[in-house]
């Protein structure tokens, strides 16, 4: 086994549990971070994480090569959008922190660089809260495109594959999402480092 995603899927299909664990270890933090940003709720993201990897396990035979990461995030996106639609009228709580691979939990003994300036830290935390709230208010398609491209650093081609649309549609979704964020966050956009 060469360690590529394709060989790990093949090994998983042959019954090697270590191969599936490797895939979860390789992509788990990214998927969880993505789902936290999509749902705005850590507990719900963890449930969707389980659902995503259960679907990957069950649908591994349908993987036809190409970018495994795009295929994986397609499954995660569909699970997240289904959940968002089900709770369409529910309020999203963004008062608590969500931690994924791009938002690691604060270490108990770590000292933040801004810890010496409490006023600046308060402003930064408020900006983060406003950004999380603005992202959560985007329609699911725009939110997915933005989070996949910006936070997960997928190319527009990979985002298009993940969302099942054209690159042009991704660019349109990104443009609309950024325009809405600019309207909602005029001061935060200018101040965020």
Average pLDDT over residues 104-119: 51
Instruction: Output the average pLDDT for the chain.
Output: 81
CATH number for the domain spanning 80: value is: 1.10.1740.10
Distance CA 130, CA 111 (A): 23
The residue range of the domain holding 81 is 1-91
Sign of the dihedral defined by the CA atoms of residues 185, 187, 190, 192, in that order: negative
pLDDT tens, 48-68?
Answer: 999 999 999 999 999 988 889
Average pLDDT over residues 2-22: 89
Q: 134 and 69, same structural domain?
A: no
Q: Among 91, 125, 152, which residue terminates a domain? A: 91
Q: What is the pLDDT of residue 119?
A: 79
Average pLDDT over residues 125-148: 88
pLDDT tier, 122 (very low <50, low <70, confident <90, very high otherwise): confident
| Higher pLDDT pick, 104 / 69 | 69
For residue 157, pLDDT beyond 80: yes
Average pLDDT over residues 72-76: 93
pLDDT tier, 193 (very low <50, low <70, confident <90, very high otherwise): very low
For residue 38, pLDDT beyond 60: yes
Whole-prediction pTM value? Answer: 0.66
Distance CA 81, CA 74 (A): 10
For residue 13, pLDDT beyond 60: yes
Instruction: Give yes or no for a contact between 33 and 27, defined as CB atoms under 8 angstroms apart.
Output: no
Extended strands (E) in 46-102: none
Helix axes 17-39, 5-13, angle to 10 degrees: 120
Judge residue 148's burial from the number of C-beta atoms within 10 Å of its C-beta, 0-12 exposed, 13-18 middle, 19 or more buried: buried
How many domains does one find in the chain?
Answer: 2
Instruction: Give yes or no for a contact between 74 and 163, defined as CB atoms under 8 angstroms apart.
Output: yes
Q: Which residue has the tokens 């349908």?
A: 62
Chain mean position to CA 22:
20
Residue 26 lies in a domain: yes
CB atoms within 10 A of CB 189: 16
Residue in 143, 123, 135, 137 with CA at minimum distance from that of residue 187: 123
Q: 87 and 115, same structural domain?
A: no
For residue 120, pLDDT beyond 90: no
> Which of 74-88, 107-121, 130-144 bottoms out in mean pLDDT, i.e. has the lowest?
107-121
| Total residue length of the chain | 193
């Amino acid at each position: 086994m060469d360690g590529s995603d394709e060989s790990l899927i093949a090994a998983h299909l042959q019954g090697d549990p270590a191969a599936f664990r490797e895939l979860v270890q390789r992509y788990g933090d990214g998927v969880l971070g993505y789902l936290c940003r999509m749902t705005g709720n850590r507990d719900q993201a963890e449930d969707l994480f389980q659902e995503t990897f259960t679907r990957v396990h069950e649908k591994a035979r349908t993987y036809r090569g190409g970018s495994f990461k795009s295929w994986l995030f397609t499954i995660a996106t569909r699970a997240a959008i289904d959940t968002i639609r089900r709770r369409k009228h529910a309020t999203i709580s963004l008062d608590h922190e969500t931690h994924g691979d791009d938002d690691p939990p604060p270490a108990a003994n770590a000292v933040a660089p801004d810890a010496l300036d409490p006023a600046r830290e308060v402003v930064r935390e408020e900006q983060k809260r406003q950004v999380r709230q603005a992202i959560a208010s985007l329609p699911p398609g725009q939110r997915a495109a933005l989070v996949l491209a910006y936070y997960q650093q997928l190319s527009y081609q990979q985002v298009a594959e993940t969302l099942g649309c054209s690159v042009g549609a991704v660019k349109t979704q990104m443009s609309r999402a950024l325009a809405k964020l600019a309207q909602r966050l005029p001061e935060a956009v200018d101040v965020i480092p």
